[in-house]
Structure 1
Amino acid sequence: MSPSAVPAAHGSTWSTIAPAEAGFDEARLAAAVAFAEAHESPWPKSLFYPDGSYVGNREWNESGPWTEIVGPVRERGGPAGLVLKGGRIVAEWGDTNRPDMTFSIAKSYLSVLAGLAVQHGLIADLDEPVGKRVAGPFFESAHNARITWRHLLHQSSEWQGEIFGKSDQVDHNRQIGPGADNSRKGQRREMHEPGSFYEYNDVRVNLLGYCLLQRFRRPLPEVLRERIMDPIGASADWEWQGYENSFVEIDGQRIQSVPGGGHWGGGLFIGARDHARFGLLMARRGEWGGRSLLSPDWIAQMTAPSATLSNYGFLWWLNREPSAKPGVPTGAFWALGAGTNVILVDPQNDLVAALRWIDGASYDGFLAKLYGALG
């Protein structure tokens, strides 16, 4: 198998490669895997604590009128993952086929759907106000009317409003990552000019999903399956669930809008092997087995630093300051979901890693061990 090869469809044998042949120190790579297995996410398997509180509400210090869980929640599995080198499996652990909730990794899938919308002329200009293409009440105010597709993709839109029963205010003053202080989360603050201020806000990402649905006029999971997941040979087991109140009518059809995570339940339920295929497609600049599925220009735009946060692109995290990972190439990027779930893409080393349920505080430690094993 050549270095640029891709695996056969799900159900077929996925080729493996010995660590030494792939340029890894075998003992050090085994130690990286053992580290991932030993440092499991502290989240309860049920995703609910004994007092009945949902992990998301506890994780983000969420209380008040918008905390209701409105999408499905399923018990999670244990630590799992795989590392690919040259498209072949060099390490694998846990149940990598199990379709688990994946939280904000769904945002990066939305980014790819936005790229498909651009590719097919459904979005003509990323800097055009979204309200020019998406009818309805969400962009009628003078403030919201200035919001562009780029703003939504960079999480810098500062959109104000409510969609599917959740207000943008729920994520005001939200922080993420190690040391995050969410003591003021949910307290209303003054709005900035659209495009000038970054805030990680799930309501605004859900708005992006709704807007993409309005452009495709088809269920987004259906578009993703047809244009991306089936062509890359993913399993039939993954699904993307919305909220019980996120159905909209389009051209006489009742269609569920899907969220960019599992903040209030729902989201993308998927296995590590399918995540790894998706990451490999990104590493291959949108090409799979000689067929272009996603424009390489879109992947370049998607992984370029935004003006408001240098380590964030179009709903993907970049290996740049203020949180660059030592020893990891600058061109690496990843999808990240609470729990902690990760798709790491390193085109320079032709390396992809999909991790499920590692302790977030241990992610950097895993990276150090993984790259320490790579010669």
Structure 2
Amino acid sequence: MKRLDRWRSPVAIACAWAALSAFARGDEPARRKAWEWGPPSMDDAGIDRSAMEKVWTSLEGRRTTALLVIRHDRVAYERYAGGHGRHRPHYTASMAKAIVGGLGLILAMGDGLIRPDDPAARYVPGWGRDASRRAITVRQLATHTSGIEDAEGGGVPHEWLRGWKGDFWRYLPPPRDPFTLARDEASIIDVPGTRARYSNPGVAMLAYCLAASLRGAPDPDLRNLLKHRVMEPLGVPYDEWSIGYGKTTQVDGLPLVATWGGGSYSPDAVARVGRLMLRRGVWEGHQRLRPEAVARALEPGCVPGHSGLGWWVNQGADGTRLWRSAPDDAFGGAGAGHQLLLVVPSLDVIVVRNGEPLDPALDFDEALDRHLIGPVLGTLAAPVGTARPGAR
């Protein structure tokens, strides 16, 4: 009775009501001012003003709709085409492989729910009995080395593809949903772990493994995991990001969310994720991601290539660079239309670009390097002791 009497006092009732009201508003127990970037300043960020304006003029002519450059926690430079802005969501295309799938994997790894070298068959019913799929690991799904065929058809637009490949992109209900198709119908065309070959169905199976690893966790689906563990703590409003084509598909009792595409993020939201990764998971004194999990995600795979665990890393396992103009420690996410998140820890810079293809005549990464990465990084004054971008 004494415990009950304690809650009958006017002070206790007032405190309880305040707590309930705060919960309803989504406030934190001790409400804090939302974190923001420092005041815009190209001078403090060490950027050549006239050079950057020339870069923007070139990028604007190449159908760039958003360019956001963050340095030393300041908005060093930003320009937007009409109808676009720092807080206006834009489709991410395959950048979702990093900021959705890669980030989700980092969280699950940090929680001890999944390991990169786990057999995917541990999470996928039936694969243990399939000789061609039994050897696939979580790492291989995340680094495009699983041997699973991509859902492409020699440059044919997705909407024109037939069979399972066309259905993969149409995102039909089960049993023709992309996860079931990736699990059961996508062919194995390489011995797992022997060759880097881009695979959207492989990344779909990473989503399947992640969902299976989250079964019974406080956030058993990827959307809520990212919402509660990353986006809310980073101060990203819910109307500035969405993932998985806005869908959750139930397969084998798992709530599956697409990781290969289907995201829409504002440039500000993307840049905040970039800052979290640059700082190895620390956000304003709080360790949101385990640093060892971030470090593992940014290691290149054993097979020659430049894919970490969902993230592109500039220095490959063979020592080659993906983007010649960027320092070795650069990493990021990229998608069709040259959507880009570039993070360069040694230069303390984050670059976000949205728009349409920069140069269809060039290889995807060569176009990024020549028209965006090289020119933007070329306007920066390198910190003391750091080589200029592109220096060999």
Cα distance change of structure 1 residues 288 and 141 upon mapping to structure 2, 3 Å threshold: same
Aligned equivalents of 1:374, 1:169: Cα separation in 2: 38
Aligned equivalents of 2:188, 2:242: Cα separation in 1: 37
Residue identity in the other structure for 1:309: P
Aligned equivalents of 2:142, 2:199: Cα separation in 1: 11
* Aligned residue number for residue 240 of structure 1: 243
* Aligned residue number for residue 228 of structure 2: 226
Residue identity in the other structure for 2:126: P
Aligned length: 301
* Aligned residue number for residue 178 of structure 1: none
> Which aligned pairs between 1:84-103 and structure 2 lie closer than 5 A?
84-94=70-80, 95-103=85-93
* Aligned residue number for residue 53 of structure 2: 30
Which of 201, 216, 219 lines up with 2:214 in the alignment? 216
* Structure label with greater radius of gyration: 2
Aligned equivalents of 1:170, 1:370: Cα separation in 2: 33
Residue identity in the other structure for 2:380: L
Shift of 1:202: 0.5
Contact 2:222 2:257 in 1 (8 A): yes
Residue identity in the other structure for 1:310: G
Which of 201, 204, 215 lines up with 2:202 in the alignment? 204
Contact 2:127 2:133 in 1 (8 A): yes
SS in 1 for 2:230: helix
Q: Residue deviations 1:341-362, cap 9 Å, x none?
A: 0000000011001111153325
Structure 2: runs of 5 or more not aligned: 1-31, 156-164, 166-185, 360-366, 382-392
Identity rate of aligned residues, in percent? 27
Shift of 1:26: 1.2
Residue identity in the other structure for 1:363: L
Which of 240, 250, 263 lines up with 1:268 in the alignment? 263
Aligned equivalents of 1:244, 1:288: Cα separation in 2: 29
- Greater Cα shift, 303-312 or 277-286: 303-312
Q: TM-score, normalised by structure 2?
A: 0.70
> Which aligned pairs between 1:35-46 and structure 2 lie closer than 5 A?
35-40=58-63
Aligned equivalents of 1:155, 1:13: Cα separation in 2: 36
Structure with higher RCO (Cα < 8 A, 6+ apart): 1
Shift of 1:300: 1.8
* Aligned residue number for residue 177 of structure 1: none
Cα distance change of structure 1 residues 326 and 130 upon mapping to structure 2, 3 Å threshold: closer
Which of 131, 151, 156 lines up with 1:170 in the alignment? 151
Which of 117, 130, 135 lines up with 2:120 in the alignment? 130
> Which aligned pairs between 1:186-197 and structure 2 lie closer than 5 A?
191-197=189-195
Aligned equivalents of 2:334, 2:33: Cα separation in 1: 25
Answer 1 or 2: which has greater helix percent: 2
Contact 1:9 1:233 in 2 (8 A): no
Shift of 1:138: 4.3
1:363 aligns with 2:368: yes
Contact 2:315 2:322 in 1 (8 A): yes
Residue identity in the other structure for 1:233: G
Q: TM-score, normalised by structure 1?
A: 0.73
Q: Residue deviations 1:72-125, cap 9 Å, x none?
A: xxxxxxx012100011101112212122221111111211211111111211x3
Cα distance change of structure 1 residues 316 and 231 upon mapping to structure 2, 3 Å threshold: same
| CA-atom RMSD in angstroms | 2.6
Aligned equivalents of 1:16, 1:292: Cα separation in 2: 25
Contact 1:19 1:29 in 2 (8 A): no
Which of 280, 295, 298 lines up with 1:300 in the alignment? 295
Cα distance change of structure 1 residues 197 and 173 upon mapping to structure 2, 3 Å threshold: farther
* Aligned residue number for residue 328 of structure 1: 326
SS in 2 for 1:92: strand
Aligned equivalents of 1:244, 1:37: Cα separation in 2: 33
Shift of 1:268: 1.0
Aligned equivalents of 1:170, 1:108: Cα separation in 2: 19
Q: Residue deviations 1:132-180, cap 9 Å, x none?
A: 2x14234530121111111111111124xxxxxxxx4634888xxxxxx
Cα distance change of structure 1 residues 190 and 303 upon mapping to structure 2, 3 Å threshold: closer
Structure 1: runs of 5 or more not aligned: 1-7, 42-78, 160-167, 175-185
Aligned equivalents of 2:281, 2:260: Cα separation in 1: 23
